[in-house]
Chain A
């Protein structure tokens, strides 16, 4: 069973917009409210919209269980890898070795009232990206497995 044409068209149009908004929340996690978990949950909402609008065979053409589980593993390994990489620099676990270094996410925070500089905060945005990818995969695959119970009933 699939939903009506109105719901399917709305899901097609809204899915990229929700994706972009969730990635915005993840990327600005160290400046604005939100972060990895909230952005990943917003992206998973877009995935849930597509899953509800179509039936199982059409959805698995878009969203694959292997890819989503791989995203979950990638996010977790990336998060702990960023933390463990500090040990290679001779510092403590989760030490922020990128802040003030001048490389990616490494410029110092400007003083005074400003709009917020995206290229700051060191390893915090990298961890936000890792958590965002992990929550994206995890919460979407929960709903996809919920739908896969309906596969043999043909709806």
Chain B
């Protein structure tokens, strides 16, 4: 039986983010939080492996008080159990610390064959936690996976790189990160959402993992100084006309007058 730990992060709905026009800062308070899309596909990939090979899936997330609600979806889609690291002392730590905390959590869960995650979460786009965790655990990493299967205790995967598709094989345990192209995550049924609430869920703070939140926080190395939407200075001219031909003619004139067509 294969035991898979899937790393998931709840993030704000990116399409709901509004930029404050005066400060150019993103408004994220009060927005609904969901599982980051690529992470959800990592979970879907785990479920498909389980369906073929039998197994057990533990979802693991480092988050906040809001994480439990967002992660219900993971249990509804098909995770068997849920582990949440929730410690306000760890809020805002960087990928370096996050991966150390996740290492401790993964070791506490124990007995895993495979750790799955998304290539990156869509809020931070930092693409570090998978490789960092592999380094800390001394495991091989298989990144950017768009297809995978288990055969005789080995993982066979196709990696999606810029210039090649790389077919690889690795013995388990390993850390695997997936790209968006791997699958389309299933939508949970109402019944499975009901059942999700009954699945085992554990919540840990830093001390439950044998860590000091204060020390971990002090180890954080990257600080965010400012978040600001880039200034968009566009003319925003909407061309209106009686007919399509007229509108097209006006647009053609505008394009030519910009002088952007000279080689």
Q: Do A and B bind each other?
A: no
B residues at A contact (CB < 8 Å)? none
Mark A residues whose CB is within 8 Å of B. Answer: none
